[in-house]
Amino acid sequence: MQPKEISISYRTHSRKDSLSGQDQLLLEKAREATSNAYAPYSKFYVGVAIRTLDGDVVAGSNQENSSFPVGQCAEKVALYRLTHELGRKPVEAIAIVVSNEHQTNPASPCGSCRQILNEYRNFQEQPIRILLGSVNSQEVIEINDVRDLLPFAFDGTFLGI
């Protein structure tokens, strides 16, 4: 049996100003969304901004609860808000920014959010780029497609759909 390999392609930008103006604006909207996060327990504030292919931008932030499983991640809030307000519009890019005194580097989405991002990606043909940033750093990680975050994602084909 031959071993198989999985590889992903991503870029690390040492400064946000190396990105396009549109991507800088998307990261700024995600940073602004961190101020609406409710994270009194973890102190890990996350803001997300989603840009559709036609330029609409929707933001969301994480919302904790003292019963931790009841809270919502920022990625879920933003995607659900997008679908509710604008329908299932094709997404071009998603910026995710974290704010936490101990987190100086960008952080990637949790496993549950990776699955939800993949599910949304299944409804469109083009990739969804991910921009990961931190309030405490200029560094930005640019991932070419959300599918790179979860290569063995569960999808409708497992259910015969």
Give yes or no for a contact between 87 and 58, defined as CB atoms under 8 angstroms apart. Answer: no
Higher pLDDT: 153 or 97? It is 97
Q: How many domains does the chain have?
A: 1
Residue 77 lies in a domain: yes
Dihedrals phi, psi of 7, to nearest 5 degrees: -135, 150
Higher pLDDT: 68 or 149? It is 149
Residue 6 lies in a domain: no
- Show the domain range for 142: 12-155
Give yes or no for a contact between 78 and 109, defined as CB atoms under 8 angstroms apart. Answer: no
Q: In terms of DSSP bridges, do strands 91-99 and 57-61 run parallel, antiparallel, or are they unpaired?
A: unpaired
Residue 20 lies in a domain: yes
List residues with catalytic annotation: 75
**H or E segment at 119?**
helix 111-121
According to DSSP H, which parts of 17-87 are helical?
A: 21-34, 74-86
Supply the pTM of this predicted model: 0.94
Q: What is the pLDDT of residues 14-57, one digit of tens each?
A: 999 999 999 999 999 999 999 999 999 999 999 999 999 999 99
State how far the Cα of 143 lies from the Cα of 149, in Å rounded to an integer: 8
Residue 160 lies in a domain: no
What distance separates the 2 farthest-apart alpha carbons in the chain?
51
Q: What is the pLDDT of residues 104-130, one digit of tens each?
A: 899 999 999 999 999 999 999 999 999
Residue 61 lies in a domain: yes
Specify the CATH number for the domain of residue 23: 3.40.140.10
Residue 7 lies in a domain: no
Q: What is the DSSP letter of 151?
A: T
